């Protein structure tokens, strides 16, 4: 059984999707053993506690720079014996010391079809604001491995979602979550835990 550590910063609906998938037996070969939040008041922490999952708060505000914060997260991941680290609405940048310690063992869910609307400054609602500003007719979500390049790691799964006339960023965000993020994140986690993901030359192959 692989230890899955989930990193969060906010409401935690993606964490909830993972918990629901776990409780209905859809995550094979892994178990969420700890949720780590960068914010002490993140509602995601309540979601974890309700389901008996251990929590830790490693508050970004208490560290003066990215390097010391990354070291604190890395120590926690090692203590928790993480096999897989999932960024589920984790809004804090970690440096390469963490990424290098967990190559192809950290994944992130991003609310757009990478390489569109991604990279530095594209997070949360801002992604949907930009998609609407550009007038794209299709958007979606991506789950990818985390590398040193922000939103640039190998793509594991993607799902497209239609933009509809009258969409606000909030409405579009909700549709992308419901139709894409909450589906592909648990799927990607299960594929990893079943040893079905192989990365060659920056491309992810899914084994049968």
Active-site annotation, residues? 110
| Segment contacting ligand GAR by CB under 6 A, of 53-61, 76-84, 106-114, 200-208 | 106-114
| Beta carbon nearer to ligand GAR, 46 or 195 | 46
Secondary structure element (H or E) that encloses residue 191, with its range: helix 182-193
Using CB under 6 A as the binding rule, whether residue 12 contacts ligand GAR is answered as yes
- In a 10 Å sphere around its CB, with 0-12 CB exposed, 13-18 middle and 19+ buried, how is residue 145 labelled? buried
Applying CB under 6 A, among 116, 123, 129, 158 the residue interacting with ligand GAR is 123
Question: Are 96 and 107 a contacting pair, CB within 8 Å?
Answer: no
d(CA 123, CA 110): 8
Provide the residue count of the chain. 208
| Beta carbon nearer to ligand GAR, 10 or 153 | 10
Answer left, alpha or beta for residue 173, where phi above 0 means left and psi between -120 and 50 means alpha.
Answer: alpha
157-186 residues near ligand GAR, rule: CB under 6 A: 177, 181
Residue nearest to ligand GAR (CB): 89
Could you tell me the smallest distance in angstroms from the CB atom of residue 142 to ligand GAR?
A: 9
| Binding residues for ligand GAR (CB under 6 A) | 10-14, 44, 88-89, 109-111, 123-124, 127, 177, 181
């Amino acid at each position: 059984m692989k230890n899955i550590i989930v990193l969060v910063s906010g409401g935690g609906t993606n964490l909830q999707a993972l918990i629901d998938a776990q409780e209905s037996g859809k995550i094979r070969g892994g178990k969420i053993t700890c949720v780590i939040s960068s914010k002490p008041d993140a509602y995601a922490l309540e979601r974890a506690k309700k389901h008996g999952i251990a929590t830790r708060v490693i508050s970004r505000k208490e560290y003066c720079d990215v390097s010391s914060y990354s070291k604190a997260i890395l120590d926690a991941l090692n203590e928790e014996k993480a096999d897989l680290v999932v960024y589920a609405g984790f809004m804090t940048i970690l440096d390469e010391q963490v990424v290098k310690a967990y190559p192809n063992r950290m994944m992130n869910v991003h609310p757009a079809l990478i390489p569109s609307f991604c990279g530095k400054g594209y997070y949360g609602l801002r992604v949907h604001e930009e998609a609407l500003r550009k007038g794209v007719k299709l958007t979606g979500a991506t789950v990818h491995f985390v590398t040193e390049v922000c939103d640039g790691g190998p793509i594991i799964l993607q799902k497209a979602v239609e933009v509809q006339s009258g969409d606000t960023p909030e409405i579009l965000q909700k549709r992308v979550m419901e139709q894409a993020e909450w589906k592909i994140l648990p799927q990607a986690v299960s594929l990893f835990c079943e040893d079905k993901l192989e990365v060659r030359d920056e491309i992810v192959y899914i084994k049968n």
